[in-house]
Structures are given as C-alpha cells and as structure tokens.
Structure 1
Amino acid sequence: MLPSLQESLDGDEKELESSEEGGSAEERRLEPPPSSHYCLYSFRGSRLTQNRGDSDDGRSCGTNAETPSGDDFSLSLVDSNLPSEVEPELRSFIAKRLSKGAFFEGLGNVASVELRIPGYRVGCYYCLFQQEKLLPEIAAVESEHNPSEYVVCFLGGSEKGLELFRLELDKYIQGLKSNMNCEERSLGSDLKSYLNSWYEDVLCPIQRVVLLFQEKLTFLLHAALSYTPVEFKESDEKTKRDINRFLSVASLQGLIHEGTMTSLCMAMTEEQHKSVIIDCSGPQPQFHNAGSNRFCEDWMQAFLHSAEGGNPFLFRQVLENFKLKAIQDTNNLKRFIRQAEMNHYALFKCYLFLKNCGSGDILLKIVKVEHEEMPEAKSVVAVLEEFMREALV
C-alpha cells in the first residue's frame, strides 16, 4: 500500500534533515548555517587524450579515459571561495578519487566530505572537464603554458541533497567549459561570478518558483502533468528560466514512452487550442487558460508546507515524489484497464480509481493515447470517458 501524501512528505523531510545534519547528535550541533563553496583545480598528468577515443560523430568517449594513479598527476588551485585552511583537505580528497580512477570527463560525482574545520560533513559534487577543443597548432603552444583539463568542486548541503541535482550540475559544467578562455592566465570576473553562483543558479529555481506562485502553483503543476504549453507575458529572463526549469523537472518526460509523450502533447494542444499564459506584468503573476485538479491542489499544499524550512533540497524531493505518485497512479490505471478488458467489476474499479485519485482527467488522456492502437483497451477507455462525463453533470 502506498503511503499517504503527508506520510511521504514527512518521511522525506526527516530523511533529508537527518542527511543534512550528518547523523549523530554531535554532528548536528556542529552543523553551520547553509552555505556553499566552490574550488577549481587545474589538472596536469599523464592522461593520454588520444586514448580517450572519439565516436563517429566526433564526440569524446569519456569511458575510455585513462586515469593516472599515484604521482602521475598534480592538482593546482586556480580559484576558490573555500577557507584556505580547509582547501588542502578537499584537494587531498579529490586526489584520492583521481588515483582510484573515479572520474570520467564531463560526468560529475557526488560524495560526502568531512572537513576538519569547522568540523562537519558536507555534500561535494566534483567533475573533471576539458576546455573546448582548440585548433591543433594553438593547442600545441598553449599546452606548454596552460592546462586543458580541470576539476571543479561544488560544496553545499548533503550528499543526498546534491545527488538530486547531479544532472543539472553536469549541464552547469558545460556552461563553464564554453565560458573558459584558454588564453587568459587567470580567471575573469565573469567566470568567478559563474562559479560563485552555482548554488543559486542550479539548486534554487524550484524554491523561487514555489515562493513566487504560492497557491497558484497548482496551475503550474497541472500544466506540467498535462503537457500543456506555457507562454509568458512581460516576464524577465530569470523568472522565465526558473519557471521553465520547474516545468522540465515536474514533467513526466523520460518516465513514460517518448511516443506517448509526443502524442499527448499534440492531443492536449489540439483539444485546448490554447496555451497557459503567465502574465508577469503586475505585482503578482496571473494565470490565464489554466487548469487544476485535486491531485495538483494537494501537492501544492505539500510545497507550501516545505516552504517553512526554506530548504531547496526538500523542494526538489517533494517534486520527485509528485512525479513518482503520478507514475504510480498511471501504472495502476493501466493495470485496471487490462483487467477490465475481461472483467466488468474491474471496469467499475477503474471508474472508482479515476473518481478518487484526484487526477483522473489527466490520467485518462494519458492512457487513451497509449491504447489508441489497442481495440479492446480503447473500448474500455471510451466507456470510462462516458462515466466521467456523466459524473460531472
């Protein structure tokens, strides 16, 4: 039996808080206020980039990388906002990981690092990356003066919390790569700002969206779940970027069949003929052509409950739980439909499930698209649609 929404929320909140606190009572007392740091190291060693291998389309195949061990490499600090007395401990940790071959170019890892001062465990994302490829004649000259490989570390929160954002952090590194200029002998102010802003840019968009919309978040959740297009009116770029990030994370993209998702997007667009409009021209954003249901309203309350703690990791966990529950409900409905093809009582169970789950309007559209080419299931869906229409009268 699935846990209730409140049980799921309370459990995740306690687990994340325990992870943030480091476990023991002594570690919890030493826990400082939330903070974030970064370190950028240049990497020099015997990594043979020609052994890395290229795929047919010219992309580097990181899994063929040769990672040196022992004294075959060196790490030099390029820039950091970490206290100087702590940085050598982090460098030692990264060196040990390098010696074990725990790095692949462009693919980050997350671990928990214990720092001597001030004496607490912190989540650490670390990633090895190369500068954008240079022309051969330029690369030959530059390699003698500047490294072409770097290791970047982002520290903040807990290991469990950072793991929720690992893919977004990988994308953030791609932005760092494209902004690095190998001709510069030191980091420019733009790059320093980029590194220093990682926490706000990667971890906080979901939190900012929740605080911006409050009770109106239900409309955004419904748009994400139903694949309804969203357009903006007089929105600044940062707000638009935050909302698009929220929609991307909240959608079921990648969790259901790609063909189903494409067909569902087309079906929703054809049915509604309208996008959801978010008007940011006034003091408070307004929604037009927006929909909602009980499922989204319940989860909106879960987000507002999380807002009391102001923890970006908890916001992300709630959003992951929102998607998980939507997938579970979709799979349950599919199972009931398969049973209903041979059993009229199962058909009634389908109807009761749709009526009580809070998101029957969306789930029915999802399974309708998926069962379009299956005559028996299609007939069951048609009956369910009729039941739901009668229930609304």
Structure 2
Amino acid sequence: MFTSQTSSFQDSIDVEERDADFDNEEIMGYNQKAQQLNCYYSIYFYQSTRSEAADDKMARSHRRTESTTTEDDFSLSLVDTSLPPEAEPELRCYISRRLSKGALLGGMGNIATVELSVPEQAVGCYCCLLEQERSPGQAEGEGSGDYVVCFLGGSEKGLNLYPLEGEELELDKYVQGLQNSLSPELQNLETEIRPYLSRWYEESVMHIYRVVQLVQGNISYLLHAALSHAHVEVIGADERTKADVARFIKAASLQGLVQEDTTASLCKAISEDSHSDLVIDCSTAPPTLTNTVSNRFCDDWNQAFLNAAERCNPFLLRQILENFKLKAIQDMNNLKRFIGQAEMSHYALFRCCLFLQSCGTGDVLLQNARAEHSGLPEACSIIRVLEEFLSEQAQGTVH
C-alpha cells in the first residue's frame, strides 16, 4: 500500500516511457548523430505595407489577432541565414503564413516543427517577432520595420524544455539581447548580429551539457545544493563557466515551485552557515569540489546525467533534469501530506518514517518542511521526531 503512493525511481528517469518526453525513435536519432546535430538561424526584416493613422492602430491590432491580415499587408525580406539555399525560401513561406494569421506576437516566441530541405528534414523551429521602438504617434507601417528571428535545431519537444519563470522561454531572453543591436542600416551585421545569432545553440542549449562535462561524476553534489538552496561558488574559472553553473543550479532548484517565504527562510538559514557553501575550484583538472554534500536520491541520478552526456544530447539532459525536479516535487508533496496525517495518527507517523527511509532525500525534504511549517507547533513537533528518526538511522548505518 505504501509503495503504490510513490513512483519508482526507474519510472522517474525512464524518459522513453513518459508522455512528455522524447519517443524512442527521436532518442535513437540523437544517438546516431552525436555531436553532428545541426542548428541554424535566420533573421528577416518585416515591414507592414499598410499605411494607417495612429488612432487606428489599436483597432488594426485587434483585427490582426483575428487572422484578418493577408500576405499583401506586409513584406518579409531575408537579412541573414545559416540555412542551406534551398531551405531558406521554405522557412520564409512558413513565417509568412504565421504572420498572415497573426500568430507571431511581439517579444513572445513560439515553437513548432517545420519540414525543410535540411539533413534532418523535420526540425524544431523557434520564431520571435522583435518589434522596434517607434516615436509617439508613429504608425506601424511608417519608418523602420521590425525583425523576425528564427532558431532551428533539435526538436519541438526539445526546444520547449527551456522555460524561465512566468513561462518565458530562455530563447526569448536570448533574442531580446539582440534588440539594441538591430537598426535599419545593419552596419554591424558581420561584427555583432551574425556572431550573436550563430551562438544561440551554444549559449541557450548547451550550458547543462557543459556543466555535466565539467564535474562528471560529481553532479550529485550540484543537485543536492540546488534542492537544499545551498550557495555554490565557482573559483578559478572564466565568466562563461560561472554563468553555466549558476544556470544549472537555478534550473535544478525548486525556485518558484515552493512558497516564497519558505525559500527566503531556507536561504537565510543556509547563508548564516558559510560551511554549507559548495565550492568548485576549476584551477585544477578535474575541478576540485569542497564542502560536498549529497544523499542517496541525488546519487541515483548521477548515471542518468552521465549517460545522456555520453550521447552528446543536451535536450535529453534537460529532460532528465526536469524529471529530477518532478520526482523531488512529488516526494515533497507526499511528505507534506504524511505530516498532516501524522498529527492525528501514529500509523501515519510510522508511514512517514518509512517514506523518509526509502525516498533517499529525507534530509532535504525535512529541511524544506521545517521552513514551511515553522509557524505550526504541532507540525514542528512531528518534524523533530522525524529528524531524530533519520539521525538514528544514519548512525545505525555508520555502525
């Protein structure tokens, strides 16, 4: 009865069996391609050919969302692309259809699968309309136009694995970094714009892969630090590596998924203990990690990350990271339910002990529960009993 309430570890890491994950054929394709996975970009100049008064602007925007705009209402011209010559016109036709239906909103990218004359045939395509600032009273069809930026690579499912808080895509954030570099003259096309667009895959997708390659079998320490809100300091490394580790910790943490006051309490308590900081010294090869803490739950995920890294598949790595977080959330919700039941039942308290013993991440779960229930005396007393139980179990294991 108890085991039926928690999903097995194997189920949580078996990405092939989950509806939200990659299918077998897709994963096999990545295995065969390895590091030869291609990625592309395209940028287009978009300009409305309809002249309108400023006071009609809102009405037209409303009509456009209702798909009343036709292809005759705008022009779309290529600025730069890394696509093969035969594939670019196909992409432009696809974007034109999206624009004619009002399916591209300013600053908000969307992701779909497109079939192009590229080796992959079908690829994930991210498209975003970057609207340029206009002077007050200037209508959309007047003056400078806007830009449509497209990133292509991997799959639609893969690209959708990169959200930020508030469901904003990481690719949205990356595209916005291009905003100030765009101008009608595009004099900086070769010096700024093209290099920036060419780096989208390295900067927005590959960071988790680079971190796993950096720490190798020590990835469990980073996972534990992320779940327990511990500070991670990277020394002896360049800024890119530091940013990669920070983004990995943020992606692996439950930030935004637990109550803000709970997160604040945990961060405050941990910051007062400098010995809890995980330090990654990259001046040595391989890097040296100090103040390392892990648990059985995080250790069990090590091999899943290493296997995906061997496949050179950053999208699979991101899916595994999302599954890791999902399992941690499930365990946290189970513990909260058990604590509520244990206040009224000794049997429920016993089940709670069994759960903490089997889940492998009892230390982190109780740490979060203690912060979340700090104002509830009865729950706090239950948590103290559970902490004593885990401590006795740990001592028994040592002996």
Deviation at 1:76, TM superposition (A): 0.7
Equivalent residues of 1:47, 1:66 under 8 A apart: no
**CA distance in structure 1 between the partners assigned to 2:284 and 2:28 by the alignment:** 43
Q: What is the count of residue pairs matched by the alignment? A: 375
User: Which of 370, 389, 392 matches 2:391?
Assistant: 389
Higher RCO (CA 8 Å, separation ≥ 6 residues): 2
**CA distance in structure 2 between the partners assigned to 1:32 and 1:287 by the alignment:** 28
User: Which of 140, 152, 155 matches 1:158?
Assistant: 155
User: Where does structure 1 lack aligned partners over 5 or more consecutive residues?
Assistant: 54-62
Question: How does 1:198-217 map onto structure 2 within 5 Å?
Answer: 198-217=200-219
SS of 1:282's equivalent in the other structure is coil
Structure-2 residue corresponding to 1:16: 22
**CA distance in structure 2 between the partners assigned to 1:328 and 1:352 by the alignment:** 16
SS of 1:16's equivalent in the other structure is coil
Using the TM superposition, name which of 269-278 and 81-90 deviates more.
269-278
The 3 A distance-change label for structure 1 pair 50 and 368 is farther
User: Which of 260, 283, 286 matches 1:284?
Assistant: 286
Equivalent residues of 2:130, 2:147 under 8 A apart: yes
Q: TM-score, normalised by structure 2?
A: 0.85
Question: How does 1:31-42 map onto structure 2 within 5 Å?
Answer: 33-42=36-45
Question: How does 1:67-86 map onto structure 2 within 5 Å?
Answer: 68-86=69-87
1:3-23: per-residue Cα shift (whole Å, max 9, x none)?
Answer: 433344333389525463799
1:83-119: per-residue Cα shift (whole Å, max 9, x none)?
Answer: 1111111111111111122111111101000114557
SS of 1:184's equivalent in the other structure is coil
User: Which of 239, 247, 250 matches 1:248?
Assistant: 250
Equivalent residues of 1:371, 1:377 under 8 A apart: yes
Equivalent residues of 1:279, 1:286 under 8 A apart: yes
SS of 2:177's equivalent in the other structure is helix
Structure-2 residue corresponding to 1:220: 222
**CA distance in structure 2 between the partners assigned to 1:352 and 1:162 by the alignment:** 39
**CA distance in structure 1 between the partners assigned to 2:302 and 2:229 by the alignment:** 18
The 3 A distance-change label for structure 1 pair 229 and 21 is closer
1:147-169: per-residue Cα shift (whole Å, max 9, x none)?
Answer: 2x111110101111111125110
CA RMSD in angstroms, aligned pairs only: 3.0
Equivalent residues of 2:308, 2:314 under 8 A apart: no
Deviation at 1:351, TM superposition (A): 1.2
**CA distance in structure 2 between the partners assigned to 1:361 and 1:84 by the alignment:** 56
Question: How does 1:220-239 map onto structure 2 within 5 Å?
Answer: 220-239=222-241
User: Which of 275, 278, 282 matches 2:277?
Assistant: 275
**CA distance in structure 2 between the partners assigned to 1:109 and 1:319 by the alignment:** 22
Question: How does 1:1-393 map onto structure 2 within 5 Å?
Answer: 1=4, 2-12=6-16, 15-16=21-22, 18=24, 20=26, 33-45=36-48, 46=50, 66=64, 68-118=69-119, 120-131=121-132, 133=133, 144=143, 146-147=144-145, 149-166=146-163, 167-185=169-187, 187-271=189-273, 273-393=275-395
Deviation at 1:329, TM superposition (A): 0.3
The 3 A distance-change label for structure 1 pair 29 and 194 is closer
**CA distance in structure 1 between the partners assigned to 2:208 and 2:51 by the alignment:** 38
User: Where does structure 2 lack aligned partners over 5 or more consecutive residues?
Assistant: 164-168
Q: TM-score, normalised by structure 1?
A: 0.87
Equivalent residues of 1:19, 1:160 under 8 A apart: no
SS of 1:112's equivalent in the other structure is strand
SS of 1:387's equivalent in the other structure is helix
Deviation at 1:134, TM superposition (A): 6.0
**CA distance in structure 1 between the partners assigned to 2:193 and 2:332 by the alignment:** 44
The 3 A distance-change label for structure 1 pair 181 and 74 is closer
SS of 2:42's equivalent in the other structure is strand
Structure-2 residue corresponding to 1:58: none
**CA distance in structure 1 between the partners assigned to 2:255 and 2:210 by the alignment:** 22
Equivalent residues of 2:35, 2:312 under 8 A apart: no
Using the TM superposition, name which of 319-328 and 3-12 deviates more.
3-12
